[in-house]
Amino acid sequence: MPALSTSLTTETESHPLDLMEQVMGLYEWEFERLGPSEMAAQAPGQWCDYSLYFTWSDELSALHLNCILDLRSPAKRRPAVHELVSLANNRLWIGHFAVDPDTGTPSYRHTLLLRGVQTLPGESMEDLVDIAMSECERFYPAFQFALWGGKSPQDAIDAAMLDCAGDA
């Protein structure tokens, strides 16, 4: 995921979702405020369009991101998806993947804790989105391999994590 070419003001005293609106504007992604503490956005990716949901908790002083991959898993493949999520989570430094229990849809989730922060760093908001998109793009092929390619979760992770060297 390329970095933003324009930087936000490094500090602001506005609501975290107001700042996230600025980030979405820099990316030129569609977004909608669903209420004072919720926002939804659509983000184009290499493999699919991602649905991003941001939720602010006054009680926790935390901004939660849920980035949903456009994949539904059939009930018979869900055990493999859960195993794949476990394998993927072992490779993450920040955030985690989860599977919706009703639809079997995988998503990347991360919460940014902001208790005691007087001013919001714009770079942290950008990083939250950049990391989520990078991880979704990195692991999307593994989910595809496991769901529709007939690969075992370990084989799917191994194939998706293959780093190519050189130029073709």
Task: Give me the residue spans of the domains in the chain.
Answer: 11-75+94-139
- Cα Dmax for the chain: 52
108-141, pLDDT tens digit by residue? Answer: 999 998 888 777 777 888 999 999 999 999 999 9
Question: Per CATH, is 11-75+94-139 categorized as 1.10.3720.10?
Answer: no
Provide the residue type at 120 as one letter: L
d(CA 89, CA 68): 15
53-103, pLDDT tens digit by residue? Answer: 999 999 999 999 999 999 988 888 899 999 999 999 999 999 999 999 988
- % of residues, the chain, pLDDT over 90: 67
- On the CB side of 104, how many CA atoms lie within 13 Å of its CA? 17
d(CA 135, CA 49): 14
Mind giving me the DSSP string for 67-136?
EE-S----GGGHHHHHHHHHHHHTT-SS-EEEE-TTT--EEEEEEEE-TT-SSEEHHHHHHHHHHHHHHH
Q: Is the pTM of this model over 0.75?
A: yes
